[in-house]
Structure 1
């Protein structure tokens, strides 16, 4: 065997090894995305089941989410219909929040439940636009001082945004904040806040918009990724067969000059 033939054979096996490894990796990624889709499908089924359950009232909510974080997690996305009074002095505006592509504030106000033991739930009431001329100028809200009834669903607190360590947006120094931690807010206000929050739903009212994103587990996204990975795996296999097997036997092999 000549040096040219040995080099050609070594190149063939290196390409074969790289192709096999690439096919295995991309196929494994496709299978992983399918497993993620199955998990998300189960989650979506759970969300649909919870959304179909009758709304929880004041008594039921207090009974199922006294102070147990695990119980609060199990109640996520359950519908609620609550009665209480707004504690407007503790209203917080979360900055840099968008709704329909517009920047503004998420408005959070504690609601003291009626006929209870001073139980309070933090309500994500809606969204208001910001004033671009004066950031600290907040739009007026039409808050009823009496007993109100709200409809909504149990939801995690608003997602945290990045903030500098020196920022005081999570402290009680301002109504406008970047983030809000439920435990820290409980300590700050001294309120008997439940270990959950409620996302108020319904049409726009009180100067607030409520075009919240539709609840979804994102199953289709994982199916799309799986299709891409399996497609890439198949493409690698086809290219390998064509260039390294089919064309190998169609083209003449290098001959020795001896």
Structure 2
């Protein structure tokens, strides 16, 4: 009984090369997903640590020492408590923003901090649905007046930017409905002594009597998704290896037992 061997040609080496490349690519993608999961876990640990710290006040955000990039990064996601009065005449509505899968506006209003010489903090107050019959109509948002407004939230960077065509309305001072908002341009437009960071107001919907929803996305979530993707990529890598071994080695170089010897 001698094994049946088929001649090895160019097709065999091309398939071998394709299998090796496929296994390397899928294995690399699996490792990348694992690294993304590790980054998310590290970010979540950092968020938990910062969440356990005492809440800061508005003066910390407006302190000139907080303008350095390193100082700003250290304050992001910290709990914060603000006290002051709203400046509703400078309210901005960011368009095409979603919350729980529904499109609408993010409502941003500056808060003048209490105390002489205090600065201003831009507060991302929440989300409100829009009127699809009249896209230029502003939804009603109740803004409490007075100098004793208290806001609880967490420190955040500038609002995320969405794609907009050239000549969009992000820089138009006459429009309260905008696609994006640049803090530096907004500071120049309003003349306010804005802090370099913003605040995401927290709390259940309607807690402040403004009718806004505040179900902000959870930062650092999605670790299980990355592990699932990694499992899929590693599984595909193993499948490529298994198919290659079976069709290109076992069936090619090993003669079935039922076949008689030549």
Q: Same fold (TM over 0.5)?
A: yes
Structure 2 residue 190 is the aligned partner of structure 1 residue 189: yes
SS of the counterpart of 1:132?
Answer: coil
Q: What is the Cα deviation at residue 152 of structure 1?
A: 0.4
User: Which residue pairs with 2:226 in the alignment?
Assistant: 222
The answer on whether the counterparts of 1:58 and 1:83 sit within 8 Å (CA) in structure 2 is yes
Shift of 1:67: 2.2
Give unmatched runs, 5+ long, in structure 1: none
Deviations 1:32-77 (A, max 9, x none): 2222222222111111111222211233444486422332222111
| Equivalent residue number for residue 199 of structure 1 | 200
Q: State the partner residue of 1:78.
A: 78
Check if 1:239 corresponds to 2:240.
Answer: no
**Cα distance, 1:139–1:12 mapped onto 2, change above 3 Å:** closer
- Find the aligned partners of 2:203 and 2:221 in 1 and give their Cα distance: 22
TM-score, length of structure 2 as denominator length: 0.87
Structure 1 residue 112, shift from structure 2 partner: 1.0
Residues 181-222 of structure 1 show CA distances to partners (whole Å, capped at 9, x for unaligned) of 111101111111111010001122312121222222432222
Work out the CA distance in 2 between the residues paired with 1:24 and 1:132.
Answer: 49
- The secondary structure found in structure 2 opposite 1:250 is coil
- Secondary structure of 1:204's counterpart equals coil
Cα distance in structure 2, aligned partners of 1:72 and 1:64: 11
1-structure distance, mates of 2:102, 2:23: 44
Provide TM-score, normalisation by structure 1: 0.88
Does the 8 A contact of 2:170 with 2:179 survive in 1? yes
**Structure 2 unpaired stretches of 5+:** 1-5
Quick check: 1:178 aligned with 2:185? no
The reply to whether residue 160 of structure 1 matches residue 161 of structure 2 is yes
What CA distance in whole angstroms lies between the structure 1 residues aligned with 2:140 and 2:212?
10
Shift of 1:116: 4.8
Equivalenced residues, count: 249
Question: Residues 136, 25 of structure 1: CA spacing in aligned structure 2 closer, same or farther, 3 A cutoff?
Answer: closer
Within 1, Cα distance between the matches of 2:131 and 2:85? 28
Q: CA RMSD in A?
A: 2.1
* 1:1-258 equivalences in 2 (<5 Å): 8-63=8-63, 66-146=66-146, 147-205=148-206, 206-248=210-252, 249-250=254-255
Instruction: Give 1:168 deviation, angstroms.
Output: 2.5
Deviation of the 1:122 alpha carbon: 0.5
Whole-angstrom CA distance in 1 between matches of 2:184 and 2:60: 22
Q: Structure 1 residues 20 and 66, CA, compared in 2 at 3 Å: closer, same or farther?
A: closer
